[in-house]
Amino acid sequence: MRRMVGDILKQAGFEVVGEAETGTQAVEEYRRLRPDLVMMDIVMPEMGGVDAVREITKFDPSAKVLMCSAMGQESLVVEAIQAGAKDFVVKPFQSSRVLETVQRVLG
């Protein structure tokens, strides 16, 4: 998933400054890199996406986090939005949908 999203963003001219395999790593990388946008899966090892969003937005309330979810994860998406995520995209990804959502979140 990370490679696919990264490829979509790079082809559109965005710079990918970091990647994380786990929710814990995502929080650490956010603190270290302070990216303009985070795209994060709802389901991740160690710390799930919802908890990682909470940690990131606790550290930086203005963080822009976009969640990636599979069909059937609606309740987790709602929980992630309530935790501070700005929007979400559903897998399988369509490049146009990903880029449209990224542009909307970045303003």
Q: What is the pLDDT of residues 22-49, one digit of tens each?
A: 999 999 999 999 999 999 999 999 999 9
Q: Are 58 and 66 in contact (CB under 8 A)?
A: no
Question: How high is the pLDDT of residue 13?
Answer: 96
Q: What is the pLDDT of residues 52-96, one digit of tens each?
A: 999 999 999 999 999 998 877 788 889 999 999 999 998 888 899
Q: Are 78 and 58 in contact (CB under 8 A)?
A: no
Q: Are 81 and 88 in contact (CB under 8 A)?
A: yes
pTM of the model: 0.90
Domain ranges of the chain: 2-106
Pick among 3.40.50.300, 3.30.1490.20, 3.40.225.10, 3.40.50.2300: CATH of 2-106? 3.40.50.2300
Question: How high is the pLDDT of residue 27?
Answer: 97
- Nearest alpha-carbon partner for 16 in 35, 34, 29, 43: 35
User: How far is the C-alpha of 91 from the C-alpha of 15, rounded, in Å?
Assistant: 22
